[in-house]
Structure 1
Amino acid sequence: MSERLGPYELLSRLGAGGFGEVHLALDPEGRTVAVKVLHPHVAADGGALARLAREVETMRMVGGPHVAEVLDASLTGGRPYLVTRYVQGRPLSSVPLPVADLRRLASGLADALHAMHEAGVVHRDLKPANVMMTEGEPVVIDFGIASALDSLSVTASGAVVGTPGYLAPEVLEGRAVGTEADVFAFGATMAYAATGRHPYGQGPASAVAYRVVHHPPDLEGVPEWLEPLLRECLDTDPAARPTAAQLCARLGVAPVPRAAPRPAPRVRPASDDVSTREWRPGKERHRRSVEESRARHREKVRRRWLIGSGLFVSLLAAAAREPLPEVSLFLLAAYALGVVSDAGVAMFSRGLYRRGRIVADAVSVAGAVGLCFGLAALFSTFTLALFAGTALVVGIVFLLSA
């Protein structure tokens, strides 16, 4: 049985990280979203939650095709959570490497960094695991969370703020951190995508961190057009790295125009007891509940099945009408009986689509009978049998593939 968290219905667990568990969920309009439920030790840090509440308003200003936008947040109670756009795909850390279209990946990541930095957001934890690949396009997730939750109490509780090998030297050394740290992470992520290797090797976190600060990255195998840019991004001096806008210019891709920001949701800080407002983009007059959306989907599937089965029965009955009229009559009668039974169930139900269901059943029976006689008059028995056999094979293949 699914679980509810505020106005969201949690469907399945997608994964977990240092700060929380991510769940696939449905919003009140029946759309899929990703809900990140913060871990208890993170939820216990009131200061971190207060900073996150302030950051969420800025994070919501980040939009575009290459970022998973923050849609809603509730940061009070025992289970504070963030809601973002659900991105269906695989993380860069689990796709075959090296990536075939590196230029497309680099352009998308540069555009994502430009969108974040223009809004005043620093990702702070850009790495292959936080880059989702969907139809060849990268989408950056979890931006801004690491910066907001970077506190001694959260870190001491077990959450690692960042990943060695993708953290800039200034982060590891405790110096001031700005957007240059994300450019460093961009370079490390692109080096990994181009070679299939971590640019600063593997091993204990302390050893990797030492190599980041004191050794050059391993860029062997990076294409010639990309290597100079990555060396600049991975410079130990933050001032020597290009900006996100310069990355876009160097890659020959203009940043994607941003849509106007959505109206801000009500974000509940730890000290606020105001109820959460779910994400409501657009100005739809009617907002369907989850149950209503499911009923609509079931009705859509049922009607498609009704039409498909009616067409197939009509073909079989038309093919059998001349050599085996009794079989033809039996097929039509069996189909009509099944559909009439369905209509009878609909008459005594209280479903949202009861009237439309009865009408659709009546039309399908009349349509199947009329189509049978029309096909029998137009085509020969052999042709109709061939059509029916083809339809049967296609239907079986479709069911197996589904």
Structure 2
Amino acid sequence: MGAPDGERLGPYRLLSTLGTGGFGEVHLALDPEGHTVAVKILHPQVAADATALARLAREVETMRRVEGPHVAEVLDASLEGARPYLVTRYVQGRPLSAVVAGDGPVEGDDLVRLARGLAEALVAVHAAGVVHRDLKPANVILTDGEPVVIDFGIACALDSVSVTVSGVILGTPGYLAPEVIEGTGSGAETDLFSFGATLAYAATGRHPFGTGPASAVGYRVVHQAPDLEGVPGWLEPVLQECLRREPAVRPVAGELLDRLGAAGPAVRAAIPRPRSSPVATRVHESVGGREPAEVQDVALHEAGGSAGAVQELTTREWRRGRRPVSGRLSAEEFRERRRVVLHRRWVIGTGLLVSLMAATAREPLPEVSLLLLTVYGLVTLIDAAIALFARRNRPRMIVDLGSAAGAIALWAALGAFFSTLTLALALGTVVSVLVAILIAS
């Protein structure tokens, strides 16, 4: 069924094969506007099932309403003809299964980001009335440390007897909920079980229900407890609740957001520090619907290493709009901080140069000296006025006014203590250095 590179499928031009899954072959492709997308061409046995395709066609419009940074949105679909296909947002990254297999378990703040991102993805999927039903490490793509869930809704939509008989296994043993294995139905609770199993694998590097034949793994899912040894202490209670056998007692995705801090406060795991004292918890809880405490310190313990040493993890909550205590900046925060630094360097550096030039021209060309100071002062005052109206930029206004006052003070000091010749030599040296820097850069 493999499609050659460069072939056109509808309005899409296939570029290369990304991989093959249980339901189809995925290709990197270009849409008519030249944007990269992922095109999944359904396997022949799936395409031959009219009932499954009809169900998928009904689900596509619902799936297209799922939006969020942690889901690969369905953009288009063509379910008629010899080769039906789905088009989703292309996510460049590595599957969680490959990351864990190659780099080992996910730890620390990366594990927190993974848990939060998966919870946010499930909230978006379930809010649209879609059930993923095949959440597993291979269906989670990590891009810049953030997870993106792919293939949501496809397993549920293609759940039909003829498709299963044709060879497609609906779901992965060890990540399917007990109710799916026993054939008693599936709902949003099913995804919560898969969420717990996927995070357990990410945190430990082991499949929580072991390996082996699908029947053996399925038996362990239904009748045995998951292997959570090595899961951090802050995460283990959450996974135990998600991996409960009874669907009704599992938490919903929105509750996970509250627990993991993605719906307002964000839980950030600090670097573990060896400690042997008892568990200490200091929690300021919200009461009567009020906002939670701005900062919440919780000392948590986890068993560390083969020696079983007790360690303490400190987590903090932060309110929306405040930077996480981990110190990581978003791209927008980084750009804003960079702009502030560049502005400060430019204003101060220009002020120093203008002061030196004005002081040099003070005796032979007093009009030029005053003109330089006047122009610099006007520019900084205008910039300060703009910052004053933009209330969040008051530090910028202080830099502008301070630089203008400093330039005048420096001009007066240089003119009073140094001769015109000395200032001219200094100015020539500064200009030569600046020109050399520009040429070198």
Q: Report TM bin, short chain.
A: 0.5 to 0.7
- Equivalent residue for 1:70? 74
1:178-327 to 2 correspondences below 5 Å: 178-254=187-263
Give SS of 2:233's match.
Answer: coil
Q: How does 1:289-368 map to 2 (within 5 A)?
A: none
- Pick one of 84, 93, 118 that aligns with 2:97: 93
What is the aligned partner in structure 1 of residue 48 from structure 2? 44
Contact 1:72 1:84 in 2 (8 A): yes
- The runs of 4+ residues in structure 1 deviating greater than 3 Å are none
Q: CA deviation at 1:105?
A: 0.3
Partner residue of 2:19 out of 15, 21, 25? 15
TM-score by length of 1: 0.64
State the secondary structure of the residue aligned to 1:174: coil
Q: State the SS of the aligned residue for 2:66.
A: coil
- Matched residue count: 265
Q: Is the 8 A contact 1:105 1:138 kept in 2?
A: yes
Structure 2: how far apart are the matches of 1:176 and 1:26? Answer: 38
Query: Residue in 1 aligned with 2:340?
Result: none
Q: Distance in 1 between matches of 2:186 and 2:166?
A: 22
**Counterpart in the other structure of 2:327:** none
2:86 alignment partner AA: L
Deviation, structure 1 residue 224 = 0.3
Q: Out of 158, 161, 166, which is 1:149 matched to?
A: 158
* 3-state SS, counterpart of residue 209 of structure 1: helix
In 1, Cα distance between equivalents of 2:140 and 2:36: 19
* Secondary structure of 1:63's aligned partner: coil
- Is the 8 Å Cα contact of residues 111 and 255 (structure 1) preserved in structure 2? no
Q: What CA deviation, in whole Å up to 9, does each residue of 1:283-324 have, x standing for no partner? A: xxxxxxxxxxxxxxxxxxxxxxxxxxxxxxxxxxxxxxxxxx
Structure 1 SS opposite 2:19 = strand
Matched residue type, 1:223: P
Q: 1:159 aligns with which of 146, 149, 168?
A: 168
CA distance in 2, matches of 1:255, 1:12: 40
Work out which structure has the larger RCO, using CA pairs closer than 8 Å and 6 or more positions apart in sequence.
Answer: 1
Residue identity matched to 1:65: P
Q: Alpha-carbon deviation of 1:158?
A: 0.8
Unpaired runs of 5+ in structure 2? 266-430
Distance 1:178 1:146 in 2: 12
Aligned residue in 1 for 2:178: 169
Q: Which residue of structure 1 aligns with residue 355 of structure 2? A: none
Q: How far does the alpha carbon of each residue in 1:35-93 deviate from its partner, in whole angstroms, 9 at most, with x for none?
A: 00001110000010000000001001100000000000000000000000000000000
Larger Rg: 2
CA displacement at 1:154 relative to structure 2: 0.6
- Equivalent pair of 1:133/1:139 in contact (CA under 8 Å): yes
Write the letter of the residue equivalent to 1:162: G
| Structure 2 residue identity aligned to 1:2 | G
Match of 1:32 in 2: 36
Letter of the 1:75 partner, please give it. Answer: L
The CA deviation at 1:97 is: 2.3
TM-score by length of structure 2 reads 0.58
Q: Secondary structure at the match of 1:103?
A: helix
In structure 2, what residue type is equivalent to 1:41? Answer: Q
**Partners of 2:159 and 2:12 in 1: CA distance:** 27
Specify the SS of the correspondent of 1:51.
helix
Amino acid at match of 2:187: G
Matches within 5 A, 1:378-393: none
Partner of 1:132: helix, strand, or coil? strand
Aligned to 1:135: 144
**1:69 maps to amino acid:** E
Q: Secondary structure at the match of 1:249?
A: helix
Gaps of 5+ in 1: 257-377, 392-402
Residues 128 and 189 of structure 1 are in contact (CA less than 8 Å); yes or no, is this contact kept in structure 2?
Answer: yes
Alignment pair present for 1:113 and 2:122: yes
Q: Contact (CA 8 Å) 1:62, 1:115: kept in 2 or not?
A: yes
Tell me the residue number matched to 1:342. Answer: none
Looking at structure 2, the residues matched to 140 and 97 of structure 1 have their Cα atoms a distance apart, in angstroms, of: 20
Cα shift at 1:255: 8.1
Give 3-state SS (helix, strand or coil) of 1:12's partner: strand
CA distance in 2, matches of 1:79, 1:93: 29
2:88 matched to which residue of 1?
Answer: 84
Amino acid at match of 1:146: A
Check whether the contact 1:114–1:255 (CA below 8 A) recurs between aligned residues: no
- Taking the aligned partners of 2:149 and 2:165, their CA distance within structure 1 comes to 27
Q: CA RMSD in A?
A: 1.9
